[in-house]
Amino acid sequence: KNVVHWYRQLPGEPPKRILYVSGGTPVFDNNDDRNRFQVRNDPNQLVYGLTINSLTPRDSGIYYCAYWKPHSISWAKISLTKRLFAVFTVIGYYNKVFGSGTKLIVSEKGSSPPANSEILQKKHENQIMYVCLIEKFYPEVIRVTWTDDEKEVTDNVVKGDAWQSTKEDEYSIASWLTVPAENKDKKYYCKYEHEEDKALLPTQGIFHMLKLDSVKTTPQEEDCSTVFNRGNLILFCLIFVTDQLMHRTAYLVYIILLLKSSMYYLFILFFIYR
């Protein structure tokens, strides 16, 4: 039978083991936790659970289960001399495998679903980038995935971390999906799952918020101010500002190298013709 370990990770700290279960009996690292944590498992399936009694805000954290997974390496040595024989060698070892973790938040504030969710679009050359923006929810634990009509899409997907909005205890999150421009007529969905709500947002029929060729260098700061005040297009503004800065930086580097080359050339001419 598997020996299952349970860990808790507090913010800014490494995971610490709470207990492990061997032969159906829990063994606690701290005896003070014996009355607060209970373990259970389904005898018919490899499903294990952890129950916490008398929750307090100090119990907030990420909880992991783990177990030791056995591995073995074997090889054979065959001799082709007068007598044929083979020697088999087996070496075994274990490594600890952790689950993805479950985040627990203990708070007096009640949970609230997202107040706004939408998909924004940016088209650039031969690519289309969809940004799924989900705003003003609590707590910050949320699952965001991309799908098409058949399955979940994982390639060229970037999920950002949840950030705290201007209002206290409200969070927002964004996820990016980049697809080839020839897939413009293909329908994709942004799916989010929050403890208070879940939804499926399609990419078809969305409004083209901004286009790269419509953004000019001169009013860039004004556009950013407008975007920031609206609150939902700040991501695009950052992208465009980054593009502008990259192009401007490359141009400045080119000018500096050209000036250095010219100065070096004049310096050589000075010593040749003086």
**229, 179: one domain:** no
Q: Domain of residue 271: give its range.
A: 215-274
Give yes or no: residues 203 and 219 share one domain. no
Residues in the chain where the model's pLDDT stays below 50: 207-234, 237, 240-241, 244-245
pLDDT for 194: 93
Q: What is the pLDDT of residue 220?
A: 37
Looking at the domain assignment, is residue 113 inside a domain? Answer: no
Q: What is the pLDDT of residue 40?
A: 85
In a shared domain, residues 205 and 227? no
Is residue 178 assigned to a domain?
yes
Say what the pLDDT of residue 83 is: 59
Question: Are both 191 and 247 inside the same structural domain?
Answer: no
pLDDT at residue 76, rounded to an integer? 57
DSSP state for residue 218 in the 8-state scheme: T
**220-230 vs 234-273: helix crossing angle, rounded to 10:** 160
Q: Of the candidates 75, 104, 133, which is a domain's last residue?
A: 104
* CA–CA gap between residue 119 and residue 202 (Å, rounded): 8
Domain boundary among 192, 209, 226: 209
Answer whether residue 35 is part of any domain: yes
CA 155 to chain centre: 13
Together in a domain, 81 and 100: yes
Q: What is the pLDDT of residue 29?
A: 92
Given 104, 126, 154, the domain boundary residue is 104
Confidence at residue 250, expressed as pLDDT on a 0 to 100 scale: 64
CATH number of the domain encompassing residue 64: 2.60.40.10
Q: What pLDDT was estimated at residue 225?
A: 37
CA distance 113 to 196: 5
On whether the pTM is more than 0.75, the answer is no
pLDDT reported for residue 72: 66
Nearest-CA neighbor of 221 among 239, 236, 241, 249?
241
pLDDT at 15: 93
Claim to verify: residue 91 and residue 147 sit in the same structural domain: no
Report the C-alpha gap between 58 and 233 in whole angstroms: 36
- The confidence score (pLDDT) of residue 57 equals 87
Check whether residue 10 and residue 91 sit in a common domain. Answer: yes
Strands (E) in 125-273, as ranges, are: 127-137, 143-147, 152-153, 157-159, 163-164, 171-180, 189-194, 197-202
Q: Are residues 21 and 69 in the same domain?
A: yes
Residues 8 and 80 reside in one and the same domain? yes
Integer Cα distance of 44 and 248 in angstroms: 63
- DSSP code of residue 121: E
CA-atom Rg of the chain in angstroms:
29
Tell me if 238 is assigned to some domain: yes
pLDDT at 213: 36
The answer for residues whose C-beta is within 8 angstroms of residue 23's C-beta and 6 or more apart is 1
Q: Could you tell me if residue 111 is inside a domain? A: no
- Is residue 110 domain-resident? no
Domain contains 235: yes
Q: Clarify whether residues 149 and 186 are in a common domain.
A: yes
Are 47 and 81 in a shared domain?
yes
Within a domain: 87? yes
Q: Which long-range contacts (CB under 8 A, 24 or more apart) does 160-168 make?
A: 164/140, 165/135, 165/136, 167/136
Q: What is the pLDDT of residue 207?
A: 47
Number of independent structural domains in the chain? 3
Same domain, 94 and 131: no
